[in-house]
Structure 1
Amino acid sequence: MTRGLCSSSFPLEIIHLIVEQLGTQKDLAALSYCSLVCRSWTEVSRKQLFYSLILDIGPPAVRGGIFSSSKRVEFLRNSPHLSRNIRHLSIVTSTSSPPSSQASLICDVLPLLPRLNHLSFDLNSDLWIFPPASNAIVPILRQGTINTLDITNVHFFYYEDLYSLLYATKIKSLKLDSISFAVDHVLRNRESVPSKMRRSEDLARTVTLHNLNISVDVTTSVSLLKTFLREDSPLDVSRLLSLSVLSPYRPKGKCSTHRLVDCVLPELLDVKHPTLRELEIEGALKGESLIIRIIKYRSPLRNRYAF
């Protein structure tokens, strides 16, 4: 059986397709067996086996905590031929672990992953405001290999902290889920402008987003989108291919829904050289809403939006 699978008559392209499908299905047991078949299967299987890494720095009694994650980091340090395969790193933390220990672990693991292109944070703590963590994350983002960034349950002090995180990167896909800001009044007024927004003078370094996914309260959604549309924004959203705004229609004040639907989204759809192809909005919109009328007359978006 092994000889048959490893024979030259068995196309390597077929092996790649089979193993990639197992990776998509996250069938780790099958991938492990494939890596033991023969030398030609080993490298292909390892790329899928070590494609992603989850550092779950939760309560020790439940998820192993920092000790278990530290063991994984040590394994990667001693196995650079394997760590080079990791493309997606997910970091999950909780308030039960000391921020200094969490930050130290992040500082240790990031330099070990030279081919990382997808970074996910689900911090559930004030880890981001702890300097060692942010000082380790920002240089990795600015190396230019990260093109997908997911930020979940992260507490920022200022809006500028988020912008400086994105500054001078090559991120194409951005997901913002359940983030919050200590100074959440900065952009509440329509004419408010971040006083410390950091942006390169070289426009070529402005981040051009292709995919944007926002899942926060409606007020924060309005603030973020209006800021992204400003000429001095660190993000260029004029070339968005897909936009998803989920769970923003739970009003926290009068006319909060109308602010997003009738003020922000039409402006986003009317930017110069629109490329938007997919629009996903969660909430009940009236048939005569301004956003509905704009969508009806924009052929690229016909039949490609969901509410």
Structure 2
Amino acid sequence: MGQLNYHHLRYFREVAIEGHMGRAAARLNVSQSALSIQIRQLEARLGHDLFDRVGRSLVLTEAGRIALDHAYRIFTAGDDLLATLRQSSTTSPPLRVGALSTLSRNFQLQFLRPLLATAECNVVLKSGNTKTLLADLETLALDVVLTTEMPQSGSTSAFAAQKLSEQPVGIHGRPERLNYGSLTSLLSNEPLILPTESVIRAGFENLIAQLDIRPRIAANVDDMAMVRLLAREGAGLAITPAVVLADEIASGTVKTAPFDLEIMEPFFAVTLPRKFPHPALRDLVQARLPDAPEKSYSGS
């Protein structure tokens, strides 16, 4: 089947609405014979009759009802496209958010909560590594990337990275695992749950080098939801910001060791300058950190 002629489809929609060839022709300001030819050409293209004649009226066949349903969706999508590019749309497209796989789910929820509390648009979430997510951002497959890592140099794109927050990294676990008088003793004797390649991991490696210890790593995890589960179940002590285990800490299931690791984990919202940015994105970023200046990091 060749490509569909949308001019024919528009004429068909008008005939279906009027139920009469003459009235539709008058509304479209074309001759009835010309309109009839257009409808026959569309039926030939689709391979089905679209109307049955009942008295002086035209009634949609089953194929006609299906075609009309698609016609409405096609022309609505076209209207939405025009409204979006004219920035006059009253509805918002989905906000497509990429998040680093090691990023706290609680933090993601905090970021999206203002949008989730409204019915203005829905959210599409994708997790992955920074390289993959930034590639999707470049191809417009994502509107924003939430990450703890700055965009690396070497890209041809000038990413804009705004720091949303910065949180101290601590040691969290079941209370019975935290009965030590010093940081060195705690890290030397208890199994640890660590994220894989991340700002936290780099900071922790520097810390244990300074303390000259070899800790026992119970799990290397690239998903903060799993870090949370393992710490809650007592598999080890989680090296992470408190936001990851906020519910468990609040309930007393997990406690935080009284030692300062002097490790901070930043949270960034990375975007690309666009002529047509998502209308909800700016408000979300400002809601997280209203006074934070935006910094642009060029890949060149």
Q: TM-score, normalised by structure 1?
A: 0.21
Higher relative contact order (CA 8 A, sep 6+): 2
More strand as a share of residues? 2
The structure with the larger Rg is: 2
